[in-house]
Structure 1
Amino acid sequence: MSTRLNPYLMFRGQAEEAMTFYQSVLGGVLDVNTYAQFGGGGVPEAEQGQVMHSQLTTNDTVVLMGSDAPSTMPGQVTNGTVSISGDDLETIRGWFEALAEGGSVDLPFEEAPWGDHFGQVTDRFGVQWMFNSPPRPLTHRRPTADPSLISDGSAVTTATGRDGGLEQACGLAWDRSVDSTRGAARRRSETR
């Protein structure tokens, strides 16, 4: 059994346009269903053609979902921030640049104080995106012990400096040791 966490974006009548744009940037397969396809869902007749659910699948680990919030759903639509991280600097840079077209660059995509390339953009639909690309794959970093990160003084392995500053900058401590029962690095604790 596997579990995934997927961003789900909400729009007001722009979901199909936005998701088609994201497909042009990220690639993948886009599935779109309207309210009309599922009996109307109680939304006004004029909104029946809007998106009830859409899903952009680029690979096994990248799935972006979205829909239109109908007028019967009051309140402001907010989407938080979508974060994309990866080791392929040029792909990440290309996505950053494509999403910035028609939007705004909030923080240029460039080398950050912690050594990774990092940037933020708000796209033409008002969705905020963060991009991070380390200088080399996370799985090849050399962890260091820093007991000061845990208030009880227990040792925790964490990435530091140019080899892992994003975790350090965000105040996260990670156990990079291999769990013999699962064979994967695991999150150990949060700090600050």
Structure 2
Amino acid sequence: MTSLSPYLSYNGNCAEAMKFYAKLFGAKLEALMTYGDLKDQMPCPPGGENMVMHAYLVHPGFTLMAGDTPPGMEFKGIEGAMMAITFDTTAEAERVFKALSEGGKVTMALEETFWAKTFGMVTDRFGTPWGINGGPKEMPKG
């Protein structure tokens, strides 16, 4: 079986982000390992004891992996990509969009598109860009 999962990088707030996403999406945070937890298996960067080396979130519709950028490496944020997620209903899309917008920045308000009854874009308070779809429509065949 082939599987594709996003792996996101954070700047010291990975644990907070992943716990938030687990609650928001009703997912299970199966792993949240810090560099300090793994110091017997690998070197722990100075100052990185509490930074997340690897997090793994599981939902029936997706998996999400993440970690904090290790100390000494430049954190550039998440650029050139977004997390696109589709919900069966506009109500669920609106709920998630509202939660992700709190402390974040809306870059496109929810509105109807040719592919969904509602779609909007937001960068959440953790710096993760999202595209939220609700009530998908049948796509034109090209």
Give the TM-score band, short-chain normalised: 0.7 to 0.9
Identity across matched positions, percent: 34
TM-score, normalised via structure 2 length = 0.85
Q: Give the TM-score of the pair, scaled to structure 1.
A: 0.64
Give the aligned residue type for 2:98.
E
List gaps (5 residues or longer) in structure 1.
142-158, 161-167, 174-192
Residue in structure 2 matched with residue 10 of structure 1 by the alignment: 9
Larger relative helix fraction: 1
Please identify runs of 4+ aligned residues in structure 1 that moved more than 4 A: none
Q: Which residue of 2 aligns with 1:21?
A: 20
Supply the distance in 1 between the matched residues of 2:20 and 2:86 (Cα, whole angstroms).
20
Cα pair distance change 1:82/1:72, threshold 3 Å: same
Measured against aligned partners, the alpha-carbon deviations of 1:140-178 in whole angstroms (never above 9, x if no partner) come to x4xxxxxxxxxxxxxxxxx32xxxxxxx7xxxx4xxxxx
Which letter maps to 1:120? Answer: M
CA 1:6–1:111 in structure 2 vs 1: closer, same or farther (change >3 Å)?
A: same
Matched, 1:37 2:37: yes
Q: Which structure exhibits the higher relative contact order, with contacts defined as CA atoms closer than 8 Å and separated by 6 or more residues?
A: 2
Larger radius of gyration: 1
1:43·1:71 contact (CA, 8 Å) conserved in 2?
A: no
Quick one: distance in 2 between partners of 1:86 and 1:123? 18
Q: Retained in 2: the 8 A contact 1:89–1:133?
A: yes
Task: String of CA shifts for 1:100-121, please: whole Å, max 9, x gaps.
Answer: 1111111111212x15111000
CA distance in 1 between counterparts of 2:66 and 2:77 reads: 12
In the other structure, the counterpart of 1:54 is 55
- Is 1:87 aligned to residue 78 of structure 2? no
1:135 Cα deviation from its structure 2 partner? 4.7
Q: CA RMSD in A?
A: 2.0
Instruction: Tell me the alpha carbon deviations over residues 72-113 of structure 1, each in whole angstroms, 9 at most, x when there is no partner.
Output: 32352325211102323222221111111111111111212x
> Is the Cα contact below 8 Å between 1:8 and 1:65 reproduced in 2?
yes
Shift of the alpha carbon at 1:19?
0.8
Partner of 2:105: 104
Q: How does 1:62-73 map to 2 (within 5 A)?
A: 62-73=62-73
2:47, 2:87 → 1: CA distance?
Answer: 41
Larger strand percent: 2
Q: Deviations for 1:7-66, whole angstroms, at most 9, x for unmatched residues?
A: 11101111001111112211211121111221274343321111000011121x311111
> Structure 2: any 5+ residue segments left out of the alignment?
none
1:167-186 equivalences in 2 (<5 Å): 173=142
